[in-house]
A and B are shown apart, each in its own frame.
Chain A
């Protein structure tokens, strides 16, 4: 007998009975039904929720300041030198207190590839890549971040990797509505799949 897809090679009596009563199809239906009642992984991002990234996340750069508010940057230009896409421009000058400080510190985010080498290269831990990932603009020119912008950017999160309630407000920011300390664990609790929390 010619073998076709409809008659698989060796089928025992049980298999044959199962085939007659569409057991395979019923298995499929049961699976999709279980999915129907499982929680959804959709992140309702701009409307209701927002993802707080992990501490290792590399977002918008920021410049750290000392406790008195002066920037830590000593304008050594190591970050500008190591940058693989030459997106950092640093012009040093002598500040009022006689220290070497940046007069101009521009990062062209349109060119930046967020590799984090500037963070590694910095001798005084001034520049780092923070948690902000909402900086879309309409023109490449608007993506140039200057000294003040960099100083005002949010830094890294202490613990991350969860979803908090947030709302899209008039303007560009999606700001959390409640506490940002602890949130929903989005993809880690889907269908009983428990993943060890990334600290």
Chain B
């Protein structure tokens, strides 16, 4: 009986997370287009629904019903599995993300995470690294020069940005004495780690931007020079899987920012429910990413490498050193 109940709870949580993650790109694309429009003195989508709110649904229907073409010279099997390979890790990492403190329902204590792993942070960093394989596969299987170059760039970008990202997080782990995300948030109930770790946050934010391949580090799909990068040859539903993946990784980086540096669900000043605080902070970080996208130009490939290896890596190492000395 206990076991059945536990399995049932896990199933409900999984279904909830998968559903939310699948639906999340809908409001996010709307928001992104609105932000883009207003920053360029346009209105953005206006015609489908109130202020274009139903526009992403119309786009989704269009993508679902479009013909799904596979280029003649493509490796058909790899071409088909690449979007799935890219999408699965970004769904998997969300099982360790806690969305609040434990709640008690009908006498049973339920954690607001599918699995409260003790090595949660390590698990996330390890699994999210797998996402790049999907992108590389897509670039390789498309048999197109643009896609190949996009995949190549993603590969190099990931290598140079995963390391500073991991190092930037070490400062937080040292402060919290734990890799468990819930415990890291617990450690911030007094003071948020952004106060102790401003450099760590900066490195994490920049590496995170590179991780989710958004401007100014969107070299893998640089419209100007690569068509659409690794998903140039993709169309229809497979293309939308890649888009969904991008948005989910953006949400993941925002969630990690909030959990690691902005006190998770701990609020300040206003006594709002913890989950509302959490979502509010995540939304703000997502907005920040969109704001960046419509402000900054793209870095050149060699500049990207320079920033990764010559700036972020020493900075994150120095951050660990200083944190260690001050502890």
CB neighbors of B among A15-56 (8 A): 25, 28-29, 31-33, 35-42, 44, 47
Task: Kindly identify which residue among A25, A29, A190 contacts B41, using a CB–CB cutoff of 8 Å.
Answer: A190
Q: Say how far A110's CB is from chain B's closest CB, in angstroms.
A: 30
Decide if A29 touches B40 in the complex (CB within 8 Å): no
Cβ–Cβ < 8 Å partners of B37 in chain A: 40, 42
Question: Is the beta-carbon distance between A36 and B39 smaller than 8 angstroms?
Answer: yes
Known: A47-B46, A190-B41. A36 touches B295 (CB 8 A): no
B322 contacts across to A, CB distance below 8 A: none
Q: Interface digits, B277-313 against A, CB 8 Å rule (1 contact, 0 not)?
A: 0000000000000011011100000010010000000
Chain B residue nearest in CB terms to A47: B47
| Measured CA separation A196–B199 after assembly (Å) | 51
Distance between Cα atoms of A29 and B35 in the complex (Å): 13
Looking at the assembled complex, report how far the CB atom of A35 sits from the nearest CB atom of chain B, in whole angstroms: 5
In the complex, number of A-B residue pairs with CB atoms less than 8 Å apart: 43
B contact residues around A195 at 8 Å (CB)? none
Instruction: Decide if A6 is an interface residue (CB 8 Å cutoff).
Output: yes
The answer, among B39, B46, B306, for a CB contact under 8 Å with A44, is B46
User: In the complex, which residues of chain A have a beta carbon less than 8 angstroms from the beta carbon of B41?
Assistant: 35, 38-42, 190
Q: Is the CB of A32 within 8 A of B291?
A: yes
A contact residues around B303 at 8 Å (CB): 5-6
Interface size of A by CB at 8 A reads: 19
CA gap between A38 and B38 in the complex, in Å: 8
Contact (Cβ within 8 A) B296 A44? no
B315 → chain A, closest Cβ, in Å? Answer: 11
A33 to B290, CA, bound (A): 11
Q: Which of A116-170 contact B (CB under 8 A)?
A: none
B145 at interface (Cβ–Cβ under 8 A)? no
The interface centre, meaning the residue of B35, B39, B43, B46 with most chain A CB atoms within 10 A of its CB, is B39
Interface string of A51-93 (1 = CB under 8 A from B): 0000000000000000000000000000000000000000000
Complex contact A35–B38 (CB within 8 A): yes
Known: A5-B303, A29-B291, A47-B47. A40 touches B38 (CB 8 A): yes
> Are B46 and A6 interface neighbours, CB within 8 A?
no
Residues of chain A having any CB pair with chain B under 8 Å = 5-6, 25, 28-29, 31-33, 35-42, 44, 47, 190
The 4 closest A-B pairs by CB, nearest first: A42-B43, A32-B295, A28-B295, A32-B39
Residues of B bordering A, CB below 8 Å:
35, 37-43, 46-47, 291-292, 294-296, 303, 306
Could you name 11 residue pairs across A and B whose Cβ atoms are closer than 8 Å? Answer: A5-B303, A29-B291, A29-B295, A32-B291, A32-B295, A36-B39, A40-B41, A41-B41, A42-B42, A47-B46, A190-B41
